[in-house]
Amino acid sequence: MPEPPEIRCNLKVYRLRRGWSQEELARRIHIKRQAVVDLEKGRYLPNTLSALRLAKVFNCAVEDLFMLWEENEQELSLPDEGLPAGTRLAVGKVRDRLVGLALHASMPFTLRAADGLLSGPNRARLHASPQALEESLLLAGCDPALDLLDDHLRRALPTARVRCLFASSGRALELLAGGCIHAASSHFHNDGEGEGEANVEALRAATGGAALPCRVTAFANLEEGLMTAKGNPLEIRSPGDLARPGVRFVNRESGAALRRLLDRHLAACGVPASMVEGYTREVRSHGEGACRTACGAADAALGPRAAADAFGLDFIPLAVTRCDVIIPLDLEQHPVAAALLDLMHSGRLRRELAALPGYDSSVTGKEIAVLA
């Protein structure tokens, strides 16, 4: 038996846009403040007179404030193949199509509500309203601090959503090149040879030389390296020590910026990857590597200082890299993309980034390149 339709109330969104308190709105439409509270929490629906007064005071239609919403199945694009039915998805409208990406936690035991559940090949049962999908920005990357963007944007735009999807830098750029996300973050490491920007060159490689006009904006500098158990009992000091007998290592997947950095360090000290126990044992996120190390399932993993600090691990720095946010120029007019670019210049975001272990926000908001 189908579930009854739901009435979704957008009253709070409209009220906050005007900067009104609940008392002010109640005064304007001649009802009690508690009635406004109950309306916004969905405890009851307004009578006809109150609904018409609300629509008049906000200069909108009643249907804009109170929406009849039923879960429905829709077709969408799925860049990941072989996902089983019931997979939790983050869904957004990228250009003129709905795209669904598997919703995984960026840190262990952290779950976020899905926009829909996969119900069949290229079909999903959606939970989010069409308005929510229109105002969602899909951002893929693996910098843990990207999750701050959603909360910071909601303070200015209550309806805005940044869906941060964990993906290696390489995978994020692939998704961007395929038109599956609105924005990607990348933190490939400049090798010091020449003047090329690693993130820009990786973007060009991901598009196969095809023209994808994009703006590359700096997000933050962050320290990356090896995470080990508290006290570093095996006295791991450098990537070369990973080849010692008895050292259990977990690696990031192929295409991850940190894995490429590790390969450069191993090559520099003449250590073949085959000598590192666990080189082919992969984890899908910094948090997973940190969790395995903290639980004693591994002796070392790759990650940023912030992840090591969160799990109480020791940290051996290998590099400071810059994480960039990349947005196609034709998507900059998306309301959330435009707000995101403005946010990157805000002092409040810079201050919070600077307070994170291993982060430097001096470059935040700096334009790195425009590929036209």
**Is the per-residue pLDDT at 76 higher than 50?**
yes
Q: Report pLDDT for 67.
A: 75
Token pair in block for residue 21:
């308190």
Q: What is the arithmetic mean of pLDDT over 13-38?
A: 90
Q: What is the pLDDT of residues 47-72, one digit of tens each?
A: 899 899 999 999 888 888 887 666 66
Q: Which class for 83: exposed (0-12), middle (13-18), buried (19 or more C-beta within 10 A)? A: middle
Which contacts (CB < 8 Å, 24+ apart) does range 239-247 have? 239/265, 239/266, 239/269, 239/271, 239/318, 240/265, 240/266, 240/269, 240/271, 242/266, 242/271, 242/276, 242/277, 242/300, 243/271, 243/275, 243/276, 246/277, 247/276, 247/277, 247/299, 247/300
Token pair in block for residue 107:
């840190």
- Relative orientation angle of helices 22-29 and 48-58, to the nearest 10 degrees: 110
Q: Report pLDDT for 27.
A: 92
Looking at every residue in the chain, the average pLDDT score rounds to 89
Q: Report pLDDT for 226.
A: 97
Closest of 304, 361, 368 to residue 143, by C-alpha = 304
**Is the per-residue pLDDT at 106 higher than 70?**
no
**Angle, vertex CA 43, rays to CA 10 and CA 133, nearest 5:** 30
Token pair in block for residue 140:
């893929």
Q: Report pLDDT for 134.
A: 86
Q: Report pLDDT for 329.
A: 95
CA gap 158, 306 in Å, rounded:
28
147 Cα distance to chain centroid: 5
Q: Mapping DSSP to helix (H, G, I), strand (E, B) and coil, where does residue 329 land?
A: helix
**Looking at this protein, which amino acid is placed at residue 265?**
H
Q: Report pLDDT for 105.
A: 52
| CATH 1.10.260.40 applies to domain 6-68 | yes
**Is the per-residue pLDDT at 9 higher than 90?**
no
In sequence order, which residues have a C-beta less than 8 Å from that of residue 241 and are 6 or more positions away?
234, 235, 247
Closest of 175, 187, 147 to residue 303, by C-alpha = 187
For the chain, give every domain's residue range: 6-68
Q: Report pLDDT for 242.
A: 96
CA gap 371, 281 in Å, rounded:
36
Q: Report pLDDT for 259.
A: 94
In sequence order, which residues have a C-beta less than 8 Å from that of residue 245 and are 6 or more positions away?
none
Q: What is the pLDDT of residues 214-234, one digit of tens each?
A: 999 999 999 999 999 999 999
Per-residue buried b or exposed e for 93-124, using 16+ beta carbons within 10 Å of the residue's own CB: bbeeebbbbbbbebbeeeeeebbbbbeeeebb
Token pair in block for residue 287:
């948090």
Q: Dump the DSSP string for 72-92.
A: EEEE-B-SS-SPPTT-EEEEE
Least-confidence region, from 155-159, 230-234, 235-239: 155-159
Q: Mapping DSSP to helix (H, G, I), strand (E, B) and coil, where does residue 198 land?
A: helix
Q: Report pLDDT for 69.
A: 64
CA gap 61, 279 in Å, rounded:
59
Cβ pair 224, 303 in contact under 8 A: yes
Q: Report pLDDT for 132.
A: 84
- 194 vs 247, which has greater pLDDT? 247
Q: Percent of the chain scored above 90 by pLDDT?
A: 58
What is the number of other CB atoms lying within 10 angstroms of the CB of residue 205? Answer: 13
Which contacts (CB < 8 Å, 24+ apart) does range 196-200 have? 197/368, 197/369, 199/169, 199/322, 199/324, 199/326, 199/368, 200/368, 200/369, 200/371
Q: What is the pLDDT of residues 285-314, one digit of tens each?
A: 888 999 999 999 999 999 999 999 999 999
- Relative orientation angle of helices 148-156 and 347-354, to the nearest 10 degrees: 150
**Angle, vertex CA 357, rays to CA 202 and CA 214, nearest 5:** 25
Q: Percent of the chain scored above 70 by pLDDT?
A: 93
